[in-house]
Amino acid sequence: MASGLAGAAGVALAAAGAHGGNGGLETAGLLLVMHAAAVLALAGRGGAYALAAAVLLGGSVLFAGDLTARAYFDTRLFPYAAPTGGVMMIAGWLGVALTALRGRG
């Protein structure tokens, strides 16, 4: 369910950014859509893949949420929210790579 909501929000944000000329919204939307698809693929595998999916989802929602708050409300979610979300996304992808390398799920 979370993956579907993130994907839908991503499409809406990307469209708003593309039609409204706000690059931050477009970036937020594209990241949400991309990570929603990855979360959908990973979560069903269970184990460490599901953990990586949760980290990816949390990071992408935090990152996109901060960009969206900046665009619509001219404020941040909290200091360093976007970089924290970005680090979480990187950590999630590294978790996927390490899990695959170790042959575990």
Residue 22, domain extent: 2-102
pLDDT tens for 6-20 read: 999 999 999 999 898
pTM value is: 0.89
Asked if 95 contacts 38 with a C-beta cutoff of 8 angstroms, the reply is no
pLDDT on residue 105: 57
Number of domains in the chain: 1
For 39-48, what is each residue's pLDDT tens digit? 999 989 999 9
